[in-house]
Every structure is written in C-alpha cells, then in structure tokens.
Amino acid sequence: MKFGYQTNTWGGVVGHPAGVTSIKDLFYLTNGSDEEAIADIAATGYQGVELFDGNLVRYADNPNQFVELLDKYHQNLIAVYSGINFIYKDALEDEMWRIEQAAKLGQRFGALHFVVGGGAIRASGVREEDYVAVAKGLDRVAEVVSHYGLTPSYHPHLGTIGQSPEQIDRIFEHTQINFCPDTAHLVAGGADLLDITAKYMDRVRYVHLKDLHNGEFLPLGKGDLPFDELAQMLRRNGYDGWITVELDYYSGHPKDAARISKSFLDEIFKNTTAVN
C-alpha cells in the first residue's frame, strides 16, 4: 500500500476565475504554494501527491519546473483531479477539451490516475435524463483519459448529481467507469461507507480518504468513520494501490493535518498486514 496526499489543503478549493466567462478554462485550482505543499507532504512521509488540473496547467509552458519540483522532494505524481458539469450539451465539447488538456499534462508528468467529479444540479432540479447524460459523459472522459495512459475514476461529490447512494447507483447503471470512493463525501451524502464500497469494490482502482464528524471534514482518526473495517475490506479484496488523503480544509497548519493522517494510516494498515 502506498500513501499520498492532495495539495488542496494548502490554499483550499477554488476555480480559475477565467471560467466565469470561458467554461473551457474552468480548471480546479488551489491558491497555495505548490512547492510548500509538496515539501510538507514529503516531510511527513508520503510517497506521492495529487494535484488539481489547474495547478498542473501552471506548468504547461515550463514542464521542467514541475518535474524538478517532484524530483527535489522525491515525490510521485499519483493523480490529476478535475471536474465537469456533463449535463449542458452546448458546453460539453469545451468541457471535454479541458479534460483532454489535463490528461495530456498528467501523462507528461507521469500520473497514474485521473479523478473526475461532477454532474451539475440545475436550478430547477435534477431531470431524469441528467443521470444518463452524466454516465455518457463519464464514458467519454474514460475514453480520453485512457488514451493518455491514465486510469479514470469517478469521484461522487457533495453538491452534485452524484451525491446520495441512490444517485450514485443511477449513474453507475449506465457507465463502467471506475469508482474512487471519497470516504467523507460518501457518508455526508447519506451512504453507508462499508456497504457502498463493497458494492462497487470491483471498480475501485484508487481511494480518497478523509474523516468526518458533524458534517466537518477532518484528518484521519479525528472523526467517526470506520477506517479499520475499510482497511480490512481493501486488504481482503487484494487492493494494494495508492491511498490518498484529500482534506479540502484544515483550521490549523496543513502540515499538521498531514502528519496526523499519516500516523493514523501507518497504524491501521499495520494492523491489516496479516489479512489474506
């Protein structure tokens, strides 16, 4: 098992402001220092990092700068994270252009995974056809991303059409894309973490962890989620891939949150090494 960390704790989750008037430029972004984040992640013992697509776009014209940054701190680029609305037909081509740019950058920098969230909720509410539109869009994402050698996974997310377990089921009825379980988003959306992970375990190629208590995202071990049981389930099913901590926000220093979660990961997975 290999452990990584998302850099978004250093600066939070925003979108590129150009996306207000140009949807093709609406990359995810965190405003913190990439170097500070990667240095702190390395110092706390993680082996790799995940970045938003918008953070990678910063290096599109100077790729050696990012390669040198990874090399300096002995880190792997595990994954690229992106998002897409899917349901607006007129916007979809520009959204897919953005996905392809992110996938190209992921390939250039050696990423293994491509994580996509999304599925917009209309002001008037969800339409029945939106679930199929999201699923078909995910199939397109999977095709594009796979072309660039990355493993595509859908990340159910609060505030999207893929929030509740029933909604996730509706989407997965119509697509075969992989499943990236985000532990806190799943539970906050009403799912039983162990049940939904078991249900789609055959699709799990990559995992996001964060803890949850009273609706607040927290470092691992500081909330209520059943990580011991989840670790056992992953081991029983032969999962030995990357596990990435993805904590959107932390009230203290993000390096402290990374350290707390790393200590917790080491403990729970040490306790599962004997499981067959």
Q: Is residue 249 part of a domain?
A: yes
Distance (Å, rounded) from C-alpha 204 to C-alpha 201?
5
The answer to whether residue 182 is domain-embedded is: yes
Residues 162-180 have pLDDT tens digits of 999 999 999 999 999 999 9
pLDDT-flagged residues of the chain (< 50): 273-276
Tell me, yes or no, whether 104 lies in a domain: yes
Yes or no: say if 81 and 111 are a contact pair by the CB < 8 Å rule.
no
pLDDT in tens, 66-125: 999 999 999 999 999 999 999 999 999 999 999 999 999 999 999 999 999 999 999 999
- Give the separation between CA 13 and CA 7, rounded to whole angstroms: 10
CATH of the domain at 65: 3.20.20.150
The answer to whether residue 197 is domain-embedded is yes
Establish if 276 belongs to a structural domain: no
Q: Tell me if 100 is assigned to some domain.
A: yes
Q: Is residue 79 part of a domain?
A: yes
pLDDT of residue 111: 98
Asked whether the beta carbons of 113 and 53 are under 8 A apart, the reply is no
Query: What CA–CA distance (Å, rounded) separates 261 from 211?
Result: 9
Q: What pLDDT was estimated at residue 145?
A: 98
Its domain, for residue 94, covers 2-270
Q: What is the pLDDT of residue 271?
A: 66
* Continuous segment of H or E residues that includes residue 137: helix 128-147
d(CA 98, CA 96): 5
Total number of domains constituting the chain: 1
Whether residue 193 is contained in a domain is answered as yes
Name residue 51's beta-bridge partners.
80
